[in-house]
Amino acid sequence: MPDSDICFTPATEQARMVRDGEISAVELMKAHLDQIGRVNPSVNAIVTLVADEALASAIEADQSRAQGDEFGPLHGLPAGIKDLVATRNIRTTMGSPIFADNVPASDAVIVSRMKSAGAIVIGKTNTPEFGAGSQTFNQVFGATLNPYDTSRTCGGSSGGSGVFNDAADVFENMPLGVQNLCLNRLDRTTAKIPAPCDSAPCKISLEAVSEPSWIFVQRRRNERVRTGLHRELQRDIGNCATHRAGSAH
């Protein structure tokens, strides 16, 4: 399978391939990094890329498998984290000049759980300042562009994640498609606006998996921040299920 093709294989299948030894975590990571290098400069979806750290983690994942260690359902899968969510030793700006140099000392709980399940953080995706907006641009990183028409908005607040998931065939007929797992904060518009702008398939899987949490938060809007709930923007319902299985532990 060509490297570019693996980027569009569902996360469930990628996880199986790594688990069964059909592809190594390093090979999977390199394929995703290559695709990011080809497409991201045109759309600015990934604003902080930690390629060296991700490759080092992929090497460790392969060593763990070779030693027969027990591993989780997300083992070796690249994951993007919205730039509102704390990631240890990875710049987390929240799209604001105030936090332009902020490097958290610890992961948010959900990121820690994803890592425990085997996911490898590949970088951070763009967001409006503090996630407050239905477009995706800020003074730190600039705008994320709509992959179908770069003169138009990609929506927000999870525009970086939406474009990262399924950029568009205007770029060498190849979507960015480098992301199996994407973590976003939970609010009214974070994924509902970017998905129809950037990738309609995300919308169906998101609602099918996340609706119970969505209802809970909307009924208790005053407690929304305190719930600490997140919702993921994925390419299909299988990817959502895979992420949920991993991050629940």
- The whole-number mean pLDDT for each consecutive block of 10 residues of the chain, a chain of 249 residues, reads 74 90 95 90 94 98 94 92 95 97 95 93 94 91 87 83 60 41 49 48 34 32 37 50 54
* Cβ contact 128:137 at 8 Å: yes
3-state SS, one letter per residue, for 104-146: CCCCCHHHHHHHHCCCEEEEEECCCHHHCCCCCEECCCEECEC
Amino acid at 158: S
119/11 Cα distance (integer angstroms): 11
| Beta-carbon count within 10 A of 70 CB | 7
| Beta-carbon count within 10 A of 55 CB | 17
* Cβ contact 14:180 at 8 Å: yes
- The predicted pLDDT at position 248 comes to 57
H-type alpha helices, the chain:
3-6, 11-20, 25-43, 51-66, 109-116, 159-166, 194-198, 200-219, 224-227, 237-247
| Beta-carbon count within 10 A of 229 CB | 16
Q: CA Rg, the chain, in Å?
A: 17
- The predicted pLDDT at position 187 comes to 42
CATH for the 3-128+147-247 domain, from 3.90.1300.10, 3.30.479.30, 4.10.520.10, 3.30.565.10 = 3.90.1300.10
Question: What phi and psi values does residue 217 have, to the nearest 5 degrees?
Answer: -70, -40
- The predicted pLDDT at position 72 comes to 93
- As to burial, measured by CB atoms within 10 angstroms (0-12 exposed, 13-18 middle, 19+ buried), residue 226 is exposed
Domain borders along the chain are 3-128+147-247
Task: Map tokens 């997300």 to a residue.
Answer: 74
Task: Map tokens 């532990």 to a residue.
Answer: 249
